[in-house]
Amino acid sequence: MTADQTFYGPDFGALQAQDPEIAGVLLSELDRVRSGLQLIASENLTSPAVLAALGSTLSNKYAEGYPGRRYYGGCSEVDKAESIGIERAKRLFGADHANLQPHSGASANQAVYGAFCQPGDTILAMSLPHGGHLTHGTKVSFSGKWFNAVHYGVNKDTEDIDYDQVRDLAREHKPKVIVAGGSAIPRLIDFQFFREVADEVGAIFWVDAAHFIGLVAGQAIPSPVPYADVVTFTTHKVLRGPRGGALVCKEEHAAKLDKAVFPMMQGGPLMHAIAAKAVNLGECLRPEYQTYARQVIANAQQLAASLGEKGIRPITGGTDTHLSLHDLQGVGVTGKDAEARSDAAGIVLNKNAIPFDPQPPNTASGIRVGTPSVTTQGMGTEQMKVIADLIHRAVTQTDGDPDHPVAKDVRAEVGDLVSRFPAYPRG
């Protein structure tokens, strides 16, 4: 087998013999990741150790319940894996309690609603067009169908969270739960402010830290854990773990949240994924992870600034985190076109609505860029300046045709860059 084939382990030959069609997809996806710039803010490159746990025999085990309290026999070994992961999560985040069973961030969020809300209760969260998340009361989501969602947004001048509006809406609507966090918020969130507002109106304070929890793990930004009743997150973004969800909470809410995860919202946990989460959490406890987390932010700040210099304006003027949101109106391109043009040039990013966007969401006036993957590959601030130039040329000088001369030039330069900072180095 080639080096690319052996990357998937000693059993890849069996997969190739039994199902060459799917084996080919695995190899072509590895090639796709290696050959382009991965700038999706919600993606990262897990370690081979995490991938090994995901592909393990723990995938076979049914383990409804929790360690020491299962509904099936034969759980002695998976109990060990989950217990190790729980203790690592508590240590990493300084939390009273952790639950690693949610299948996704949305599943973890669903458990919060299950623990603290009844259908029809009022929740207060950030609106999706201003940077929130689907599961924070958007009408197309279960959360918007089951609960009375009231939304705050950003201040039109600062483009950051309108904290006065948060307080005013909380006082007016007396929500059961107040949510902080979202999918496109470049600035730090004032968790102490939200805590004070929640206490004033008698609400549960929940932080959805899916996007930035990896920066918290790396001690690169302040933690919401001391302030929040519950913090939910995904494990596959900056945190650099397997695709999945988790939550940490105060001890007083532990039993209620555990019951909301299982048996209320989920059945059997994915034990191979929980083992992979444990591996990842162990990686996050190492000093080198903190270096990586700080570099993610430095890279994001440099990329945002360099794009701004080229007329692709960063919302809020920059970023404090791993992502930046950019307004394309100054260069006369929609987010939809920018995404397609970048993709044709070997650059993977996503269109994104900006606050007060005149375009519909599927077109959008902005793009969102993130630095977790390229930082994992070893790139630094000098490379971010190069990437900003490549994005600018792709967005403003091409038309989405991979054969466009400028697209071909940019793609060749992308290839040279990633060859010097490879994803999953060969051999």
Report the phi/psi class of residue 159: left, alpha or beta, with left for phi > 0 and alpha for psi in -120 to 50: left
Q: Is 309 a catalytic residue?
A: no
Give residue 9's pLDDT band: very low, low, confident or very high (50, 70, 90).
confident
Give the pLDDT of residue 2.
73
Q: What's the mean pLDDT in 212-232?
A: 98
Length of the chain: 427
Task: Answer for the pair 390, 410: CB distance below 8 angstroms, yes or no.
Answer: yes
Give the pLDDT of residue 427.
66
In tens, the pLDDT along 351-374 reads 999 999 999 999 999 999 999 999
Give the pLDDT of residue 83.
98
**Identified catalytic residue from 90, 167, 174, 243:** 243
Instruction: Determine the residue type at 187.
Output: R
In tens, the pLDDT along 234-256 reads 999 999 999 999 999 999 999 99
Q: What is the dihedral of CA 270, 206, 220, 240, to 10 degrees?
A: 20
At residue 326, the 3 state secondary structure works out as strand
Please name the residues in contact with 124: beta carbons below 8 A apart, sequence gap of 6 or more. 150, 151, 152, 166, 169, 170, 173, 175, 177, 178, 179, 203
Give residue 7's pLDDT band: very low, low, confident or very high (50, 70, 90).
confident
HSE of 35, CA atoms in CB hemisphere, 13 A: 12
Tokens of 149: 């969602």
Give the pLDDT of residue 8.
81
Distances in Å between the alpha carbon of 35 and those of 5, 157, 411, 413? 16, 40, 9, 11
Give residue 35's pLDDT band: very low, low, confident or very high (50, 70, 90).
very high
Distance CA 163, CA 21 (A): 52
Please provide residue 311's backbone torsions phi and psi, each rounded to the nearest 5 degrees. 90, 0
Please name the residues in contact with 293: beta carbons below 8 A apart, sequence gap of 6 or more. 214, 215, 217, 218, 219, 220, 238
In tens, the pLDDT along 190-211 reads 999 999 999 999 999 999 999 9
In tens, the pLDDT along 10-34 reads 788 899 999 999 999 999 999 999 9
Give the pLDDT of residue 142.
94
In tens, the pLDDT along 83-100 reads 999 999 999 999 999 999
Q: Is 237 a catalytic residue?
A: yes
In tens, the pLDDT along 305-338 reads 999 999 999 999 999 999 999 999 999 999 999 9
Scan for tokens 């909301």, then name that residue: 260
**Identified catalytic residue from 61, 88, 187, 237:** 237
Tokens of 9: 């382990």
Annotation: binding site: 128, 132-134, 251
Q: What percent of the chain has pLDDT over 70?
A: 99
Scan for tokens 């002695």, then name that residue: 76
Q: In terms of DSSP bridges, do strands 37-38 and 347-348 run parallel, antiparallel, or are they unpaired?
A: parallel
Please provide residue 392's backbone torsions phi and psi, each rounded to the nearest 5 degrees. -60, -45
Q: What percent of the chain has pLDDT over 90?
A: 96
Distances in Å between the alpha carbon of 373 and those of 40, 58, 282, 296, 383? 8, 27, 19, 9, 13
Q: What's the mean pLDDT in 67-94?
A: 98
- Stated as kind and residue range, the H or E segment containing 208 is strand 204-208
Tokens of 199: 């206490």
Q: Is 64 a catalytic residue?
A: yes
**Identified catalytic residue from 64, 389, 409, 413:** 64
Give the pLDDT of residue 117.
98
Residue 426 predicted with pLDDT over 90: no
Other Cβ atoms closer than 10 A to 243 = 17
**Identified catalytic residue from 159, 160, 162, 208:** 208
Distance CA 215, CA 399 (A): 36
Closest listed residue to residue 48, CA positions, set 89, 22, 12: 12
Q: Is 243 a catalytic residue?
A: yes
Annotation: binding site for (6S)-5,6,7,8-tetrahydrofolate: 128, 132-134, 251
Domains in the chain with CATH codes:
57-285 (3.40.640.10), 290-420 (3.90.1150.10)
Residue 1 predicted with pLDDT over 70: no
**Identified catalytic residue from 138, 234, 376, 398:** 234
